[in-house]
A and B are shown apart, each in its own frame.
Chain A
Amino acid sequence: MKDMLSKQAVGLKPSGIRKFFDIVSEMEDALSLGVGEPDFDTPWHIRDEGIYSLEKGRTFYTSNSGLMELRQEICNYIERKQGVTYDPKHEVLITVGGSEAIDIGLRAVVNPGDEVLIPQPSFVSYEPCAIMAGATPVIIELKAENEFRLTAEELENAITEKTKILVLPFPNNPTGAIMERKDLEEIAEVIRKHDILVMSDEIYAELTYKEKHVSIIEIEGMRERTILINGFSKAYAMTGWRLGYACGPREIIEQMVKLHQFAIMCAPTTSQYAAVEALRNGDGDVEEMKTAYNQRRRFLMNAFKEMKLECFEPFGAFYVFPCIKEFGMTSEEFAERFLTEEKVAVVPGTAFGDCGEGYLRISYAYSLDNLKLAIGKLADFVEKLRKQK
């Protein structure tokens, strides 16, 4: 058949992670620092609630927007954490992971020709989702000297009259960067001035190691123009349950509910019941996991210092983003050699945008013992490369 495929779909670049995945899957004894999900199992009381909901026969669709009980708990949670209120009836939508919320959130607000501002390095989905929504992605290259934060100046320079929405991916995957209140206040001014929307992807909100996470919805005039995205994957170690949510102004959520209804129907029912338990009784688990991540983060920063590998100190998510420019290799070359010579997988920074060139994403969603082993190999590899120079 001629022209079987969508040109737009074919035109999407395949994920830069795929290649490494393929090589690692072939290697049996490879270590990895390449995962983007917690190493913890979902806390047992949450799993138990999922099992209980199945036993009870709660195996039907929920309403399109998700269980009212869960939406209410989400609103309570946001009020508790951010001091901002949402109406569970009209301003919350339960999605299949944060990823779905990114997709339908963009599709709900953009028109052909609209520009979507995407700071990079960042999660792999924003750009393809913007393209498939018919918009034009405009990349803002974040800089190491700003600790990969988005500055008001960078934002101002990227805005045109076609700009519709800014994607704000903090705490950031892959850099671990965070935006603090003053950073958000500065960019909020630009956003208000140009009257654009924000999609704030705060999936790592619970995992910050400095002050408590600040959301842009807390800044004056921002709640009404922000689609807030969060989910259960990272905070509660629930990646496989596929559960996220979006909160925002009623007009936007209404359109998102339509898209969600036709494509998805509703998020998995079992997961929704488990998530209610997570929000009600999961604060202690989050705190415990966060403490462990922070210990590992400190361990890695110290290890980089000892091997004299340049790396800014990240305060969010569970990634560090060391610089490997001194070795005169591309990120991909470095990652490939490291994998074949030392059998440790890391993800090249370029998997998260061209400006990730010269960096590696190293995940610390691993036990300290695992990290020690893998980082020991990195130290050996770095030393070997320096000798070869």
Chain B
Amino acid sequence: MREELLSIIERNSRIDLKELAVILGVEEIDVVNELQALEEEGIVCGYHTMIDWEKTSIEKVSALIEVRVTPQRGQGFDNIAERIYKYPEVTSVYLISGGFDLLVTLEGKSLKEISGFVSDKLSTLESVLSTATHFILKKYKDHGTILTKKYEDKREKVSP
């Protein structure tokens, strides 16, 4: 049940416990216990809401920043990653393979705010060798959800 439960709540964390139990074919108490276990084990680490900020009047700018760093002896990339992820405007930090080491995503109110962060805070860190900032112009799909189009049932309404 664990994998099926996870893939359901990954897409819909608001689904109620009773309904979860019904569609998984188990008792409600089993769902409650399993969810609790998943939270305790740190497998479920939060419940978020997908928001397409584009459709609001609130100004938001996000960027992907590729960062090259010098790993530190005994610490590898962990220390520098931590120094970066502690900034609240940083929404994610990944260690990646390829030409760069860290991929940082950032959310800010304006271009200026983001470029300020990169030039004042990120680039000045001692182990950061270089950065490349990519501003996001449009989100087509995020977290497995297509943002640009709504599902439309194109089928004939009745068929054998």
Contacts and interface: CB of A to CB of B under 8 A. Distances in A.
A111 interface: no
Given A30-B157, A39-B155, A294-B25, 16 more contacts: A21-B157, A24-B157, A24-B158, A32-B157, A32-B158, A34-B157, A35-B157, A37-B155, A37-B159, A291-B4, A291-B7, A295-B23, A296-B23, A298-B23, A345-B157, A368-B23
B88 interface: no
B142 interface: no
The majority secondary structure among interface residues of chain A is mixed
Nearest to B158: A34
B42 interface: no
A21 B23 contact: no
9 contacts: A17-B158, A17-B160, A20-B158, A21-B157, A32-B157, A39-B153, A291-B4, A298-B22, A299-B22
Contacts of B157: 21, 24-25, 30, 32, 34-35, 345
A35 B23 contact: no
B19 interface: yes
B158 A295 contact: no
B22 A35 contact: no
Contact of B159 (A17, A125, A295): A17
A80 to B, nearest CB: 23
B125 interface: no
A294 B160 CA distance: 21
Given A39-B153, A291-B4, A302 B160 contact: no
Interface of A: 15, 17, 20-21, 24-25, 30, 32, 34-37, 39, 123-125, 173, 291, 294-296, 298-299, 302, 345, 347, 351, 367-368
Contacts of B8: 295
Interface of B: 4, 7-8, 19, 22-25, 151, 153, 155-160
Given A39-B153, A291-B4, A295-B8, A124 B160 contact: yes
A15 B156 CA distance: 15
A298 B25 CA distance: 7
A9 B144 CA distance: 50
B81 to A, nearest CB: 33
Contacts of A347: 158, 160
Given A295-B24, A298-B25, A35 B19 contact: no
Nearest to B159: A36
A373 to B, nearest CB: 13
Nearest to A125: B160
Contacts of A20: 158
Contacts of B158: 17, 20-21, 24, 32, 34-35, 345, 347
Given A39-B153, A291-B4, A298 B159 contact: no
Contacts of B25: 294, 298
A137 to B, nearest CB: 17
A125 B24 CA distance: 35
Contacts of A302: 22
A266 to B, nearest CB: 25
